[in-house]
Amino acid sequence: MNRRLYPGRDYRRAQSIDELRELARRRLPNFSFEYVEGGSDDEFTLARNRAIFQSITLQPRTLRNVGTRDLRRDVFGKPSALPFMVGPTGFNGLLTAGGDLRLAEAAARAGIPFVLSNASTSSIEEIAAIDGIRAWMQIYLYRTRDHVAKLVERVRRLELEAIVVTVDSAIFGNREWDRRNYVRPLQLDLRNKLDVALHPEWVWDVLVPNGVPRFANLGDLLPPGKDSVKGAASALAAELDPSLNWDDIAWLRDIWKGKLIVKGMIHPADAEIALGYGVDGVVLSNHGGRQLDGSVSAMETLAEVARLARGRMSVFLDGGFRRGSDIVKALLLGADAVLLGRAALYGLAAGKGPGASHAIEILRSEVDRTLGLLGCSSLDELSPELIHAPAWRAAAQAVAGHAPHGAGEAGSNLDGRRMPIDAFS
């Protein structure tokens, strides 16, 4: 049944991430909402990131006393209050003033890590100063390596725990909706200009106080006066380096001794290689369906990667997580934790900082409820037997080191090379 979503404007009345999305859609000008929402090409991967969760059916246990439930998860040996964190997203200042700060504060309040995007409109220094923050910095390996080295030095000085290097964007995905909204690069067309005028609340929040938001961490990379989100696009595009390869990861590993996480791979063979370069973790990701259209969802290679990584590096993933049950399914398949992308942004756009907290709270309560309904008191009790779909269960069993569920056919999913693609129908 197609249910009617909450039609009002009070983010506190949103019952789900989908309802926050609707509020965000109403509050943001079209160009800004499409920027958050869109995928590449025909958006097949964007859709697959959501659809995949439907194929992972669950079979709960009952009568197990789930009177108390513990949602904590250790990430790099330190407790996180929840098994998910806020992932890196650029241009957050276009959703609300100080968008990165508001998101980071929400993450700190919830006791979960926050990953600051390289394309953020707040500086790492501002983020690091937030009380109780556990911040990680996401970087791109731009052509100007000197800039990258200086950024790494800033991260070191601030004693941040981790650097997340995104490797799926050396060539930019084809985002047609984005180009369609402009007559020239970053010059909105008339329709979108009029649409901005129809969103005075957003204009007062975002544009009036400080003008077009500025990139806060890229100062020395951009020509003087070109650090506004509007002015920097061409300079940044020229910095993308399609010759990126594993030597660059070795270089980064050499200059950064803290936790190093590679984000934006999805092939198990790449995860295997990453192990050889001494990285501490990977984020399996197709960039929210914004890069290669046709890519599988990270959920589909998760179990295989978790199996090969077990005890050697952490495995995170993102893409399409909108319900607590989605997060629990990833944990069942061996994820250490999940990164939120749009789910957190919908909350931020719908209700600023408190809206971001509301999004996190919705997902917290959904993870908690799912855990209880499955008959588990803690995340450690999640086990492959709770998955009903046979191919997915076999994949989860392989991660957990259980014997294959029967030989032959099921075994073919367990040889470390094939994934339960057949489970997706």
For binding to ligand FMN (CB under 6 A), which residues are involved? Answer: 35-36, 49, 87-90, 117-119, 138, 166, 263, 285, 287-288, 318-321, 341-343
Question: Binding site for glyoxylate: which residues?
Answer: 35, 140, 175, 263, 287, 290
Catalytic residue numbers, as ranges: 287
Q: Reduced to 3 states, what is the DSSP secondary structure of residue 404?
A: coil
Decide if 164 contacts 139 (C-beta within 8 A). yes
Phi/psi zone of residue 388: left (φ > 0), alpha (ψ -120 to 50 degrees), beta?
alpha
Q: Measured from the CB of residue 413, what is the shortest distance to ligand FMN in angstroms?
A: 26
The residue sitting closest to ligand FMN, measured at its beta carbon, is: 341
Pick between residue 31 and residue 321 the one whose CB is nearest to ligand FMN: 321
Decide if 134 contacts 104 (C-beta within 8 A). no
Q: Measured from the CB of residue 115, what is the shortest distance to ligand FMN in angstroms?
A: 8
Beta-strand relationship, 84-86 and 78-80 = unpaired
Distance of alpha carbon 325 from alpha carbon 60, whole angstroms: 12
Distance of alpha carbon 289 from alpha carbon 321, whole angstroms: 12
* Closest listed residue to residue 384, CA positions, set 332, 331, 307: 332
Pick between residue 91 and residue 392 the one whose CB is nearest to ligand FMN: 91
Distance of alpha carbon 286 from alpha carbon 319, whole angstroms: 7
Q: Reduced to 3 states, what is the DSSP secondary structure of residue 373?
A: helix
Beta-strand relationship, 187-188 and 182-184 = antiparallel
Q: Where are the beta strands (DSSP E) in 268-411?
A: 281-284, 314-317, 337-340
DSSP track, 67-96: SS-B--EEETTEEESSSEEEPP-S-GGGTS
Pick between residue 136 and residue 424 the one whose CB is nearest to ligand FMN: 136
* Rounded-to-10 torsion of CA 207, 210, 212, 215: -140
Q: Measured from the CB of residue 209, what is the shortest distance to ligand FMN in angstroms?
A: 21
Pick between residue 199 and residue 405 the one whose CB is nearest to ligand FMN: 199
Q: Measured from the CB of residue 378, what is the shortest distance to ligand FMN in angstroms?
A: 25
Decide if 110 contacts 134 (C-beta within 8 A). no
Q: Where are the beta strands (DSSP E) in 130-196?
A: 135-139, 162-166, 182-184, 187-188
Distance of alpha carbon 191 from alpha carbon 197, whole angstroms: 10
Pick between residue 329 and residue 393 the one whose CB is nearest to ligand FMN: 329
Q: Measured from the CB of residue 105, what is the shortest distance to ligand FMN in angstroms?
A: 19
Distance of alpha carbon 137 from alpha carbon 87, whole angstroms: 10
Question: Binding site for FMN: which residues?
Answer: 88-90, 117, 138, 166, 285, 318-322, 341-342
